[in-house]
Amino acid sequence: MDFSILNQSPVLDGHTVAASLQDTVDLAIRADSLGYRRYFVAEHHNDENLAGTAPEIMISHLLAHTEQMHIGSGGVMLQHYNPFKVAEQFQLMQHLGAGRVDLGVGKAPGGLPLSTQALQHGLREDAISFDRKFRDLKRFLSQEPTEEWDGLKTSPDTSHPPDLFLLGSSPSSARFAAEEGAHFIYAHFITNNERLLEESIGTFRAHNGTGRFIAALSVIVTDDTSTQEKIISRNRIFKLTFQDGRVLRVGREDKADELLSTTSGQVDVEIIEPHIVAGTAAEVLSTLEEIASKTGIDELMFHLPTHDAALRHETIQALAPVHTIHAAQKSNTL
């Protein structure tokens, strides 16, 4: 079982934004030495608690400071961008990073309506759908010939494109990834719903998904009950369901209140308790092993649900693949 990390680049307790971003780099350097398979960085906008707004820039920086693990986006919010330009950027980084780049894309906006409006200001109102953008992105990466873009290349050398991952949180997203031949990362740390996780992987397999199915879970190593309770309180999800069927998940109560104050019509609000795998290293590993065995996932990606820098580093150290039974089992089968 491979272990990976999703770092949303939170503004850490007692840190400036610059120091918090440097910690994203420091954590990557440590993870690289500890045997983690991938290290993904996120895209969020207009959020005072999250500093990562441009994963493509962070990836380039991280590639220069790591040697082994894959560095990727978790993810590029494709609705805001031109697929050809995204393909060019990641193909270029793939060359610079000696084949260690992964391209993860998501359907979510990465922020509330104000930032979405700013990012999409000036774009045509009849903008193409996410599904179309994703398919175009896949074609640009693979150089699959099309009538519309015949002869268009992202690079003079496109023989080794980055792997493409879809980020999602539903069986329908898992099905789309399977049908498109993409890897799929299920955002369990957002849905906190094990039934949906099982349905999603079942759907992915049923539709002949050939890529990897990765589950991104909230994980922290601490046996201090008070610390666990504080982390749970800080990570409650506010699920907003609008009259038109739109669903938005917000990670902070004040952000949910802000959105509600600017929305007309009825909005249903559901508070979702986070599912965080917490405990001693042995307890956490046992739980992760149970989840992996029950679901048949290919890889686990750790979301670290704390703004405590020391605890984040301690967690990836304690769960490091080079230290765990998983690494030993893997080496015995080679």
Contacts of 256 (CB under 8 A, 6+ apart): 238, 240, 250, 269
Q: Output the pLDDT for position 334.
A: 41
Work out whether the CA dihedral 112, 118, 119, 123 comes out positive or negative: positive
Angstrom distance (rounded) from CA 93 to CA 87 = 10
Angstrom distance (rounded) from CA 229 to CA 41 = 26
Q: Output the pLDDT for position 312.
A: 99
Report the chain's mean pLDDT, rounded to a whole number: 92
User: With 50 as the cut, is the pLDDT of residue 199 above it?
Assistant: yes
List pLDDT tens digits, range 91-146.
Answer: 999 999 999 999 999 998 888 778 988 998 877 666 789 999 999 999 999 998 78
Radius of gyration of the chain (CA): 20
Angstrom distance (rounded) from CA 71 to CA 58 = 9
Stretch among 21-30, 172-181, 234-243 having the lowest mean pLDDT: 234-243
Query: What would the mean pLDDT of 268-288 be, rounded to a whole number?
Result: 93
Q: Output the pLDDT for position 284.
A: 97
Q: Output the pLDDT for position 322.
A: 78
| CA angle in degrees (0–180, nearest 5) for 101-7-323 | 85
Can you read off the two tokens belonging to residue 149? 């873009």
List pLDDT tens digits, range 283-309.
Answer: 999 999 999 999 999 999 999 999 999
